[in-house]
Amino acid sequence: MSVTVVTYGTFDLFHVGHIRLLKRLRAMGDRLVVGLSTDSFNELKGKNVVIPFADRKEILLSCRYVDDVFEENTWEQKRDDLIREKADIFAIGDDWAGKFDELEDIVKVLYLPRTKDISTTELKTVMREINEEKVREAKNVATHLVDLLGKL
Ligand code: C2G
């Protein structure tokens, strides 16, 4: 009797928090299928994704824990997806705790602890800070050059 697990997410800037969740989900069954948020659905979710859907899908399909990926375009499609995929378990990070309990009549619903100290948002912040530092350095160099030229 094979056990299919289904989860959903954006998985932007793929990081260790994502991989640890997928690893745990895959260990719960024999097949893990991911509903991957499309770029348009991310706009609905209020998320500015860095990596486009096609690349995020390719990355997930390259992950040893993921067996298949389908598009997540709406909030309302989960029930149909779970039936189509013959899911036994719906599982997602506990930042969603309680949000999908209405699916309990067709699948086991689980909320797993998130990995601490890593998120796409934090990665974006670090990248922005690195970029701002580079801009400051470039401005300092430019100012120094102007000073030098002024002395010629
Ligand atoms: N996650 C995690 N630890 C982190 C970051 C993320 O366990 N440090 C988990 C999230 O809890 C989620 C999955 O990784 O289960 C994907 O995270 P996101 O891409 O942020 O997914 P989200 O935008 O929450 O999409 O309809 C459901 C939504 O599509 C879920």
Residue pair 72/8 in contact by the 8 Å Cβ criterion: yes
Measuring from atom 16 of ligand 1, which residue has the nearest CA? 9
Ligand 1 atom with the shortest distance to the CA of 11:
19
pLDDT, tens digit only, all 152 positions of the chain: 899 999 999 999 999 999 999 999 999 999 999 999 999 999 999 999 999 999 999 999 999 999 999 999 999 999 999 999 999 999 999 999 999 999 999 999 999 999 999 999 999 999 999 999 999 999 999 999 999 999 98
Ligand 1 atom with the shortest distance to the CA of 35:
29
Measuring from atom 12 of ligand 1, which residue has the nearest CA? 93
Element housing 110 (H / E): strand 108-112
Q: pTM of the prediction?
A: 0.91
Residue pair 14/123 in contact by the 8 Å Cβ criterion: no
Q: What is the DSSP string of 40-96?
A: HHHHHHT---SS-HHHHHHHHHTSTT--EEEEE--STTHHHHHHHTT-SEEEEEGGG
For 10, other C-beta atoms within 10 Å of its C-beta total 20
Report how far ligand 1's centroid is from the alpha carbon of 18 (Å).
7
Q: 52 to each of 42, 86, 120, 151, how far by Cα in Å?
A: 10, 28, 14, 49
pLDDT for res 139: 96
Show which residues are catalytic: 45, 47
Residue pair 113/29 in contact by the 8 Å Cβ criterion: no
Report how far ligand 1's centroid is from the alpha carbon of 150 (Å).
54
Ligand 1 atom with the shortest distance to the CA of 41:
29
